[in-house]
Structure 1
Amino acid sequence: MRAAVAATGTWTDPDGIRSPSGEVHAWLSGTNQTLCGLSLHRSQLLRFPHIEWLDVQPATGRDADRVAAVCPRCAAGMGRRRDERPWTRANPRP
């Protein structure tokens, strides 16, 4: 499944391309809601049909410079598994 991006904010990079900022959500083009069920209009989310979901992931994305948060429900809907934790245990139990 290929999803575009909807975000709470926008910024323009030095090349003049509009990119998402703030909290990002996965959005399927042609629908009026995100994968997690938020209405784009009521939530005042901005659409970015030219940017794919994989490009806004903070770990690997090229358009993730100003992304503050990724919606966990949208990430789960796009295939991120529950056991992929962003943290590691510092002191393992005996």
Structure 2
Amino acid sequence: MTGPAVAASSRWVDEEGVREPGGSVHAWQRGTNQTLCGVPLHKAGLERFPHVLWIDARWLADTTEERMVLCHRCTAAAGDRGDRRRWTRHRPRP
């Protein structure tokens, strides 16, 4: 699997019996104990979802009835703003 996984404040189970994230959803890099925006997982009470990629969480937020709020800082840190062009410096100072 490539890309960040998901950590969330709550969960729900879909019709196939798979745990899915809900509530406040953050991007999480496997092997670390914090989200991409710097929130510590244990202290914030976030549950890990290593089987759900961040891209899939964005899709779930758009397509499901469950309440999911994606962290805007994690979205920026993951660099997957699909509708906008990525920022690049054209003329850096010397």
The TM-score range, normalised by the shorter chain, is 0.7 to 0.9
Question: Residue 78 of structure 1 corresponds to which residue in structure 2?
Answer: 78
Question: Residue 26 of structure 1 corresponds to which residue in structure 2?
Answer: 27
Question: Residue 40 of structure 1 corresponds to which residue in structure 2?
Answer: 41
Query: Normalization by structure 2: what TM-score?
Result: 0.77
Identity %: 49
Q: Which amino acid aligns with 2:13?
A: T
Rounded Cα–Cα distance in structure 2 between residues aligned with 1:48 and 1:27: 9
Q: Which structure 2 residue ranges, 5 or more long, are not aligned? A: 85-94
Runs of 4+ in 1 over 3 A off after TM superposition: none
Superposition CA RMSD, Å: 1.6
Q: How many corresponding residue pairs?
A: 79
Query: Normalization by structure 1: what TM-score?
Result: 0.77
Q: Per residue, is there more helix in 1 or in 2?
A: 2
